């Protein structure tokens, strides 16, 4: 969830606007003409002067009747998005096309009393839907619960495979933010600008602004990490067991050598001959290895088909080779 910081309450304070923009994901311009709303904000030139040099993406919210005129002016600021009100025009399609023609993302805002179903015909064309949780025109108003609209827009977006963002504007603070978890962007003004520490106010909001999608993302990441750790542990365990196998093979060969010293008459005399000494039979019976020797990989006693094959090369030198049974081949790399 991203924060679009509104500077409505400090629009004449250039220094604090600059400070506000530092922690914001977007800088939210509330533009009022005194006709669509009873209040009127600064002129375009004043807005431009007070926000000069700010690199934070600009989120323009037009609360005006002459939409085209304001779009032309604010498009020169190279904003990320321009949002206009559904209630302000009968030419919603044309305005959407007009803004898109300027290579700017377009948003459509609706007031609390406007049913969300009224904007369904335009959802495929939009980059953003701004749901007002206060009446347009003034900051500092109490939050109006618009949860049902957010649920509808989120379900519709998923059901129709659309990508528009959902933004909420009005009355948002750490106490009300939990009611708009379906939002991708929240517009916050008074809570931040009324505080003595803008940075801390942002932190307070971000600690609460955790959407369901982000939570699922964290869960997915943690699940992937868990799989990675499990695989790493499994590989480490297997490597450890292979090392144990190798050490045990050395012990088995040494036991076979000792057995051969004690039974020289049973050793092969020509290269075409060989002798098999079974691990859990002859070696144990002759007391050369501990009883019920265990395969480190299976943690079970070796099968009787696992053996040490003793082969002569010259009649005096011998090669000792471990040949695992079908059930014990897991001890071979």
- Residue 169 designated active-site: yes
Active-site option among 23, 25, 169, 184: 169
- Report how far residue 299's alpha carbon sits from residue 288's, in angstroms, rounded to the nearest whole number: 20
Per DSSP bridges, beta strands 81-85 and 165-169 are unpaired
| Buried/exposed code over 179-214 (b: 16+ C-beta within 10 A; e: otherwise) | bbbbbbbbbbbbbbbeeeebeebbebbbeebebeee
Going by C-alpha positions, the residue among 146, 142, 190 that lies closest to residue 168 is 146
Active-site option among 23, 25, 30, 282: 30
- Residue 145 designated active-site: no
- Angle at which helix 67-74 crosses helix 92-100, to 10 degrees, equals 10
Q: How far is CA 101 from the centre of its chain?
A: 33
Q: How far apart are the first and last CA of the chain?
A: 50
- Report how far residue 102's alpha carbon sits from residue 204's, in angstroms, rounded to the nearest whole number: 36
Positions marked active-site: 30, 169
């Amino acid at each position: 969830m991203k924060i679009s910081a509104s500077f409505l309450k400090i629009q004449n304070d250039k220094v604090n606007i600059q400070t506000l923009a530092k922690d914001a994901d977007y800088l939210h311009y509330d533009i009022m003409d005194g006709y669509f709303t009873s209040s009127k904000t600064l002129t375009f030139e004043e807005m431009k002067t007070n926000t000069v040099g700010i690199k934070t993406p600009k989120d323009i919210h037009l609360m005006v009747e002459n939409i085209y005129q304001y779009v032309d002016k604010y498009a020169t600021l190279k904003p990320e998005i321009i949002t206009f009100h559904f209630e302000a025009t009968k030419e919603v399609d044309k305005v959407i096309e007009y803004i898109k023609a300027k290579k700017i993302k377009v948003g459509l805002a609706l007031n609390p009393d406007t049913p969300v179903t009224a904007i369904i015909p335009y959802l495929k064309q939009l980059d953003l839907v701004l749901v007002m949780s206060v009446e347009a025109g003034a900051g500092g108003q109490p939050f109006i619960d618009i949860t049902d609209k957010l649920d509808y827009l989120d379900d519709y977006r998923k059901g129709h495979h659309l990508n528009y963002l959902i933004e909420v504007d009005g009355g948002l603070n750490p106490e009300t933010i939990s009611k708009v978890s379906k939002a991708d962007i929240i517009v916050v003004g008074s809570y931040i600008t009324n505080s003595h520490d803008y940075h801390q106010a942002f932190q307070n909001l971000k600690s609460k602004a955790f959407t369901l999608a982000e939570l699922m993302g964290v869960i997915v990441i943690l699940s992937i990490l868990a799989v990675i750790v499990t695989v790493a542990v499994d590989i480490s365990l297997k490597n450890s067991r292979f090392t144990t196998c190798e050490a045990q093979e050395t012990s088995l060969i040494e036991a076979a050598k000792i057995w051969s010293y004690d039974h020289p008459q049973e050793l092969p005399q020509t290269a075409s001959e060989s002798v098999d000494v079974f691990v859990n039979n002859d070696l144990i019976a002759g007391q050369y290895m501990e009883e019920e020797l265990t395969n480190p990989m299976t943690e079970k006693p070796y099968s009787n088909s696992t053996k040490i094959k003793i082969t002569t090369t010259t009649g005096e030198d011998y090669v000792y080779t471990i040949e695992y049974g079908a059930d014990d081949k897991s001890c071979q790399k």
